[in-house]
Amino acid sequence: MKNLKTYQGNIGLLLLLAIVVCQSSYAQSDDARSWSVYKGDKGSTNYSPLSQITPKNVSQLQPAWTLTLLDKKPGAQPGKSECNPIIVDGIMYASSANQNAYAVNAATGKQLWSFDPLDGKNGTEVNRGLTYWENGNDKRILMSANNHLIALDAKTGKLILGFGSGGKVDLKVGLRDHNLKEFYVSLTSPGGIYKDLIILGCRVPDTYGSQPGFIRAYDCRTGKLVWTFHTIPYPGEPGYETWPKDAYKTVGGVNDWAGLSVDSKSGMVFLALGSSSYDFWGAERKGDNLYANCVVALDASTGKHIWHFQTVHHDLWDYDLPAPPALITITKDGKKTDAVAQITKQGFVFVFNRETGVPLFPVEERKVPASTMPGELASPTQPFPVKPKPFARQLITEADLSNYSKKDHDALVKQFRSMRYEGLFTPPDMKGTIEIPGTRGGAEWGGAAFDPVTNLFYIKSTEAPDLITMEKGSDTESIPVVQENADNQFAVNRRGAKANQFINATGYKTWKDPSGNPAITPPWGTLSAIDMATGDYAWQLPLGNDESRQQQGAPETGQESKGGPIVTAGGIIFISGTDDKKLRALDKTTGKLLWETTLPALANATASTYMAQGKQYVVISVAGAKEQPSGSIMAFSLPN
């Protein structure tokens, strides 16, 4: 009997040890994959459960390693690196401003492999990251370059030749005019994984004659197209009635360039769709234009529509949804509610029940100004959430115009009085219209960060008005326009508008005075913390500082930026992207600045944080400079 008890005791001890080891292994695995997805997790919350770096020790952060990228040729245009690196089991995977893919030892910064999809050419695309997929020992990196989805072996960086055609899938195939050679489509943001599917939005020009931005799901093993969701509905599909009869044959856009979110538990994928083309004139697309400017929930296995909510009817302002819907869980009165939070360029936060799409805070349809453009029929109302209140300025008066000199101020006042301006949703006009927030927001593609412990939602906002001036097109003239907006940041030649069409001749440029100063008074960028259980603000502060324009004794000016915040369980917000080239650490409860460092160039990206060999790192992609156009990846950690 004694031997039996000893045996049972030993078995119990072994089982206890096994449980401890399993828990330890799970914790290590969990830490090793704490930022294995773009924006931290499939729900795009920009949240990290790591807590080694805290408000008490963050001031000790120091450079840990830098990987200097060398994939752009000397003398090339410096790259705007926007990658949010992912980290899986001690290996970091990142893309460069030149669309090359890299695998890096996450603890040391040593490069393990690289892949050049452009065969040594200088790229001009925007690329915000990579996607990791695995099934057993089959581990893959899925990336994009130009019009291709590409599969790489995560261990070697080699093309997986059995995927698509020689490792690549042509994203032109399956769109409306896929037999035409000369049209543009690519990816801006990484795809989302659901089981063995990679689900993709796409990037198409905001021009007349562009392609529709269908949502597509491909098999991660074979590259085979599994399903397609028509963002501009075909005859017989729900939403078709919100367009002219043949619009699906000619209208483009309605694309998800900003990224999407996946709820693996419910099997749903959530989209943030952009406007239909052409952005600023819609006489050829009368109606509300579903599913433009919509949050859309689909069945991730089939692409079947579940619910949608349109945030702008018949968009005339390029008010694309600029960031993936954040899948958050709100705790109120001890009850948890799964929700979807969508930030917008207008400065709104729309919050929905994740399962049904019903708004959790009231949304009112309010009357807005009518259009005077020939043939245009603007929507008579637009949706306004009652809560939370807007996080960006939506109205300016003459009192908000900057005054750097009497001459400059007088010029702004004259311009202000000469243009049409009736607040938010003032339609474009041939006499000129002021648009605030402008086409770059409000919110941008960096997205928001959500802390599940406090219910706080952190949003970076830009305060940059645009001018819209409509001009008539010409049948014989091809009009080149330099386009620089959130989803397409390089010079392109726009297809010329026909004589019965109109273009915005002053689009995508921040309104400034004759001397180049901002047209409105600061702040020009803010960071807000909103309690998502109540819709109330915890705090809002300027983010970034233009020292040359900061008045003595005044608060910091705030600055325009596109990268978003991340928040950690340790109590820190990390954020960069402002023109002062700072990477900042703020107290997540108060917004107090705890640490900052000046980077060698603009870091117009969202940071990542991860554990490697027992140490927490913060890493960020940094843009190129004249001397070194490829840019770099920089990591920071606490001292040993």
Look up the CATH number of the domain holding residue 90. 2.140.10.10
Closest CA to 456 of 565, 335, 347: 565
Query: And the tokens for 11?
Result: 């078995």
199, part of any domain: yes
| Confidence at residue 295, expressed as pLDDT on a 0 to 100 scale | 99
483: domain range?
Answer: 41-637
- What's the CA gap between 58 and 584, in Å, rounded? 10
CA angle 468, 469, 471 (to 5 degrees): 140
Query: And the tokens for 421?
Result: 């301006």
- What's the CA gap between 468 and 279, in Å, rounded? 11
| Confidence at residue 24, expressed as pLDDT on a 0 to 100 scale | 34
| Confidence at residue 498, expressed as pLDDT on a 0 to 100 scale | 73
| Confidence at residue 32, expressed as pLDDT on a 0 to 100 scale | 80
Q: Total structural domains in the chain?
A: 1
Q: pLDDT tens digit string along 240-255?
A: 999 999 999 999 999 9
Query: And the tokens for 596?
Result: 């900052």
CA angle 541, 368, 395 (to 5 degrees): 25
The answer to whether the CB of 611 falls within 8 A of the CB of 34 is yes
Closest CA to 67 of 91, 47, 89, 46: 91
| Confidence at residue 81, expressed as pLDDT on a 0 to 100 scale | 86
- What's the CA gap between 491 and 10, in Å, rounded? 71
| Confidence at residue 177, expressed as pLDDT on a 0 to 100 scale | 87
- What's the CA gap between 162 and 513, in Å, rounded? 56
Helix (H) or strand (E) holding 382: strand 381-385
Sheet holding 62-68, edge to edge: 62-68, 632-637, 615-622, 608-612
| Confidence at residue 28, expressed as pLDDT on a 0 to 100 scale | 38
127, part of any domain: yes
Long-range contacts of 104-108 (CB under 8 A, 24+ apart): 104/67, 104/633, 106/610, 106/612, 106/617, 106/635, 107/612, 107/613, 107/615, 107/617, 108/65
The answer to whether the CB of 79 falls within 8 A of the CB of 629 is yes
| Confidence at residue 497, expressed as pLDDT on a 0 to 100 scale | 67
- What's the CA gap between 300 and 21, in Å, rounded? 35
Neighbouring C-alpha atoms within 13 Å toward the C-beta of 204: 33
21, part of any domain: no
| Confidence at residue 294, expressed as pLDDT on a 0 to 100 scale | 98
492, part of any domain: yes
| Confidence at residue 621, expressed as pLDDT on a 0 to 100 scale | 97
94, part of any domain: yes
Sheet holding 525-531, edge to edge: 448-451, 456-462, 525-531, 536-542
User: What is the full DSSP assignment across 72-119?
Assistant: SPTTSPPP------EEETTEEEEE-TTS-EEEEETTT--EEEEE-TTT
Closest CA to 84 of 317, 300, 316, 259: 259
16, part of any domain: no
Q: Name residue, tokens 């909103």.
A: 530
Query: And the tokens for 36?
Result: 């294995």
Which residues of the chain fall below pLDDT 70?
A: 1-30, 475-497, 499
Query: And the tokens for 219?
Result: 């098999």
| Confidence at residue 475, expressed as pLDDT on a 0 to 100 scale | 57
Helix (H) or strand (E) holding 28: helix 2-32
Residue 400 has φ and ψ, to the nearest 5°, of -90, -5
| Confidence at residue 482, expressed as pLDDT on a 0 to 100 scale | 38
| Confidence at residue 428, expressed as pLDDT on a 0 to 100 scale | 97
Query: And the tokens for 283?
Result: 């006489």
29, part of any domain: no
Contacts of 456 (CB under 8 A, 6+ apart): 450, 529, 530, 531, 532, 538, 567, 588
Neighbours of 113 (CB within 10 A): 17
| Confidence at residue 496, expressed as pLDDT on a 0 to 100 scale | 54
36, part of any domain: no
Reduced DSSP (H G I as helix, E B as strand, rest coil) percent helix, strand, coil of the chain, to 5? 10, 35, 55
